[in-house]
Structure 1
Amino acid sequence: MHDVEPAPAVMDQLVGLPVADVERDLILATLRETGGNRTHAAQLLGIAIRTLRNKINLYATEGYEIPEPPQGSVA
């Protein structure tokens, strides 16, 4: 279990938001942080790469900008 607790100001911003929106924003932020590296993002998020790819496809169809994977890697 992680002992990290978000700052109260962050928690206040999240209260009342739909879980799906928070999840999407976290996934997209993690992809940006990893330079689009799906494998690394999935590891950081603690989800299967297949789950991440499915969510990325959903977000793309909804019109969200998806960070591109690094050159030479498989998306």
Structure 2
Amino acid sequence: MNHFKPDLNAAEALVGLPVAEVERGLILATLRQTEGNRTHAAHLLGISIRTMRNKLREYAESGLDIPANTPHEA
């Protein structure tokens, strides 16, 4: 698990937002950072790949654009 000191200013910007909205933003941002690698994103977030898949299916069904996995060239 990653241990880091959170940016309190960034956390303050989230005050008042619904938890589901914050969670969705964090999952999608992490997925973009991992170039669509769902397993790596789930690991970074400390959630199971099953939870990641379920969340992404829910987001896709609600019309959100889900970042695609970007394969790396060898």
TM-score, L = length of structure 1: 0.84
- Report the equivalent of 1:52: 52
Segments of 5+ residues of structure 1 without an aligned counterpart are none
The 3 A distance-change label for structure 1 pair 51 and 2 is closer
Q: Between the two proteins, what is the percent identity of the paired residues? A: 59
Query: Once superposed, what is the RMSD of the aligned Cα atoms?
Result: 1.7
Which letter does structure 2 place at the counterpart of 1:46?
Answer: G
Alignment size in residue pairs: 71
Which sections of structure 2, spanning at least 5 residues, go unmatched? none
Provide the C-alpha distance between the structure 2 equivalents of 1:22 and 1:70, rounded to a whole number of angstroms. 24
Q: Distance in 2 between matches of 1:47 and 1:29?
A: 15
2:16 aligns with: 16
Which letter maps to 1:19? V
Q: 1:40 to 1:20 in 2, by over 3 A?
A: same
How does 1:1-75 map onto structure 2 within 5 Å?
Answer: 4-71=4-71
